[in-house]
Structure 1
Amino acid sequence: MFVYDPKSEIKEFNLAYLTLARKLINQDVQSAIQTLSIKQDVAEMMMSLSTEQVERIAAGSVVLGAFALDDYALLSQLSRGVVYSPTVPSVPTLNPSAGPEAKRAPFTRKMKVATC
């Protein structure tokens, strides 16, 4: 019998988030800080963590990264093909395969990834 284990899914998500965050920071610190909505000292600490520390942090019961999709209008715009562009936060990029309705009302709110 399958027993749902949310803690293992949280760990998997956290590992993926920390791995991605560390790759982004390693590639371009300032861009990663903006994209991840973290501070310089957090970025530095993330890069200083050992593999064991990353795994221990990821195994906690807290989701480390969360999408700022608590706004119905923002989620509605994203579902119509408007894609967030981190290089120009106030100007979205339209997905050409989204169709004509995506061109009606692009959002102007910046999408964030929150950290705990």
Structure 2
Amino acid sequence: METNQILDEIREINLGYMLLAQQLLREDKATAMYRLGIGEDLANIVENLTSSQLLKMAASNMLLCRFRFDDQLIAEILSSHHRDRALAQSHATILMAGLPAEAVA
């Protein structure tokens, strides 16, 4: 994959992520903060971004979203093919709920 193509893909992912995050925050802020793994300060910033600001952020050459975990157990639970998928997802959700939300530095 060429560098320009990679950068285009990153921008597309960023834009989709930022639009989804903003929509989630505007619909149900508390649930969105939990699902996004962010604190209230960052939630307020994202929620109040103008379209122009959102597009500028999305145009970054680095991914704005990231994995919320670096725990092998959570990764294995989320990627496993158990018969009871709902139970596995619930287990992962419980484990991830204990992780701290990201804060604006």
TM-score (norm 2): 0.72
Indicate whether 1:75 and 2:75 are aligned: yes
Match of 1:95 in 2: 85
**1:14·1:65 contact (CA, 8 Å) conserved in 2?**
yes
Give the match's secondary structure for 2:66: strand
Identify, as 1 or 2, the structure richer in strand. 1
Structure of greater Rg: 1
Q: Which has the higher contact order (CA 8 A, sep 6+)?
A: 2
Partner of residue 6, structure 1: 6
Question: Which structure carries more helix by proportion?
Answer: 2
Q: Distance in 1 between matches of 2:30 and 2:52?
A: 26
CA deviation after TM superposition for structure 1 residue 70, in Å: 2.7
CA–CA distance in structure 2, aligned partners of residues 7 and 57 of structure 1: 13
Taking structure 1 as the reference length, what is the TM-score of the superposition?
0.66
* Gap change, CA 1:58 and 1:114, over 3 Å in 2: farther
| Paired residue total | 97
Query: What root-mean-square deviation, in Å, do the aligned CA atoms of Structure 1 and Structure 2 show?
Result: 2.9
Q: Structure 1 unaligned runs (5+)?
A: 83-93
Any stretches of 5+ residues in structure 2 without a counterpart? none
